[in-house]
Amino acid sequence: MGPLPAAARVYIACAVLAAAVCAVPLARSAPGVPWGALVLLAGVCAVCERLPRRPLTLPVLLAAAVLLPPAAAGLAAVPGGLAGRVGRRPVAVRRLWHAAQLSLATGAASYVYGLGGPRPVTAPAFPRALGPALAAALVLALVLAVLEGGVLVTAEGRSPRTAWRDALPGALVPPLAQGPTGLLVAVVWHSPYGPPAALLVLLPMALSSWVLDRCRRERAAHRATVRALVQAVDLKDAYTRGHSERVGRASVLIARELGMRGERLEALRFAGTLHDVGKIGVPTRVLRKNGPLTPEERRLIELHPEYGHEMVRGIGFLDEARDAILHHHERLDGTGYPYGLTGHQIPEAARVVAVADAFDAMTSTRSYSRARPVPAALAELHRCAGSHFDPRMVAALTRALDRYGWHPAVPASRNVPLDQCPARTAAGGGA
């Protein structure tokens, strides 16, 4: 990334200046400021900023907003901003910006809380303080999101619409949980058990974010397992390399166009990716044979949908998408295999995968044919729609390609071949 645009520099300078101006009242009333609490909160905030995904930063900042007057709360947020993890350059400017952002947001939250909430807050005052604390949490999230949008507009040239309107609604949900937690920290802080007990209150939040993170990693691991299953096929039949994943992606394009969402879409992605997994059951010498196949060999190859169906039988979550693997070689006019189903006897998922499979087969280079351009492949699909393919699926694919385009190259990190030879992926993915 190049140097920062001038607009971004001015924007960041303004934010830092504003944060500094907000801290001025501290100097005038230095003896009245609870410096001990300020330093402790600042330290805790700095530690929280170093955690992966920063789940505790906002509750700590909210506690600071409830405990401290605006100027002090703003100052308490500064070390956290400076200590935060920065992935990209320029590091110093990003740190400074982050500190100013957190400081302004916390100061604003503290000001809003001070309008109606008691300070210092004690146990009997909890219900009275809940409303102001929630308002402070919302203001904190709002100010952070607005400032963040500003820097996206000035530094990265995003359109204001995407920078603000798309980010705002999502940012306003977590504060509803973080606000009460921050308030509880503040209440326990002033109780006889003191600040150490107050910080323990953050434990449930840390736990929930940790478990969420493990959940996310487990799902990623599952996707990797599916890719490994595809890799196992590639051990036997190298020329399909990359084909499986591209069929998975094309299936998702079609299914999304047809209005499928959530689990069903995810299941269809896996079904598309695994559609040829049954080739494992076909003898290697038949798969690798160059030249025309005898009828006996053809029959062996035509068994692969049934092998595939048998293999994924145990994967509960695939559900109806399992049929896509069994029936992806059926044709609308009943000339396909394995069962010769016609029309709507063929499951919807199978009709999706059939179109995706044919499309990718035509647009990639095979040992027996060169890749065709996308429009020619679509024309061919339209020609066979009604006899081989479901016209609805072909139309959906056409619409989806118009909208998103077709990017056959699979990201390198996801498809490095077994023998670490990038040239072979390129050969499989050429379009």
Partner 1 sequence: MTPSAVRCVHALAGAVAVGALAWTAWRGVAQPRVALAYGMLIALGEAARRRPRSGGGLRETAPLGAAGTLAYALLGEVGGEPTSHGAPQVVAVVLGATLAGAVGRPPALDRLARRVIGAGFAAVCFQPLHASGVLGTWPAHSPYYALFLLLLLALTALCDAVIAAALARARAGGGAYGPALRRELRELPGVGSAIGATGAVMALAVAAAGLWALPVFCVPLLVTQLSVHRYEAARATRRQTVASLARTTEIAGYTPAGHARRVAALSRAVGRELGLSGAELTVLEYGALMHDVGQLSLPDPVPAGATEPLPPEERRRIARLGGAVVRRTGVPPEVVLVVERQADPYRDQPLTARIVRTVNAYDDLAADPACGPLRALERLRLATAYDHEPRVVEALATVLARGGPAPPGP
Sole binder of partner 1 in the list 285, 292, 411, 413 (CB under 8 A): 285
Does 312 contact partner 1 by CB under 8 A?
Answer: yes
The distance of closest approach from Cβ of residue 335 to partner 1 in the complex, given in angstroms and rounded to an integer, is 27
Q: How far apart are CA 309 and CA 315, in angstroms?
A: 10
Contact between 276 and 244 under an 8 Å Cβ cutoff? The reply is yes
The per-residue DSSP string of 266-280 comes to: HHHHHHHHTTTGGGG
Residue 219's alpha-carbon distances to 118, 228, 346, in angstroms, are: 45, 14, 30
Instruction: Select 93 or 301, whichever has its Cβ closest to partner 1.
Output: 301
Sole binder of partner 1 in the list 86, 168, 315, 384 (CB under 8 A): 315
3-state secondary structure of 118: coil
Does 75 contact partner 1 by CB under 8 A?
Answer: no
**In residues, how long is the chain?**
431
Q: Which of 122, 112, 125, 217 is nearest to 175 (CA)?
A: 112
Sole binder of partner 1 in the list 95, 119, 158, 227 (CB under 8 A): 227
Strand partners, 389: 385
Does 21 contact partner 1 by CB under 8 A?
Answer: no
Instruction: Select 391 or 417, whichever has its Cβ closest to partner 1.
Output: 417
| Count of helix runs (H) and strand runs (E) in the chain | 22, 0
Does 187 contact partner 1 by CB under 8 A?
Answer: yes
Contact between 302 and 294 under an 8 Å Cβ cutoff? The reply is no
Does 192 contact partner 1 by CB under 8 A?
Answer: yes
Contact between 236 and 279 under an 8 Å Cβ cutoff? The reply is yes
Does 126 contact partner 1 by CB under 8 A?
Answer: yes
Does 53 contact partner 1 by CB under 8 A?
Answer: no
Instruction: Select 219 or 383, whichever has its Cβ closest to partner 1.
Output: 219
Sole binder of partner 1 in the list 181, 244, 251, 363 (CB under 8 A): 181
Sole binder of partner 1 in the list 3, 52, 87, 124 (CB under 8 A): 124
Report phi then psi at 385, rounded to 5. -65, 140
Contact between 431 and 371 under an 8 Å Cβ cutoff? The reply is yes
Sole binder of partner 1 in the list 316, 367, 368, 402 (CB under 8 A): 316
Q: How far apart are CA 325 and CA 278, in angstroms?
A: 9
Instruction: Select 182 or 336, whichever has its Cβ closest to partner 1.
Output: 182
Does 159 contact partner 1 by CB under 8 A?
Answer: no
Q: Is the peptide bond before 120 cis (omega within 30 degrees of 0)?
A: yes
Rounded CA Rg of the chain: 29
Sole binder of partner 1 in the list 29, 159, 191, 369 (CB under 8 A): 191
Instruction: Work out the number of other CB atoms within 10 angstroms of the CB of residue 258.
Output: 16
Q: How far apart are CA 214 and CA 117, in angstroms?
A: 37
Does 229 contact partner 1 by CB under 8 A?
Answer: yes
Does 27 contact partner 1 by CB under 8 A?
Answer: no
Q: How far apart are CA 188 and CA 180, in angstroms?
A: 12
Does 36 contact partner 1 by CB under 8 A?
Answer: no
Does 228 contact partner 1 by CB under 8 A?
Answer: yes
Does 193 contact partner 1 by CB under 8 A?
Answer: yes
Binding segment for partner 1 (CB under 8 A), chosen from 19-27, 158-166, 231-239, 290-298, is 231-239
Report phi then psi at 211, rounded to 5. -65, -40
Does 180 contact partner 1 by CB under 8 A?
Answer: yes
Contacts with partner 1 in 401-430 (CB under 8 A)? 418
In one letter, which amino acid is 127? Answer: P
Q: Which residues bind partner 1 (CB under 8 A)?
A: 123-124, 126-127, 130, 176-177, 180-181, 183-184, 187-188, 191-197, 200-201, 203-205, 207-208, 210-212, 214-215, 218-229, 231-232, 235-236, 277-278, 280-281, 283-285, 307, 310-312, 314-317, 418
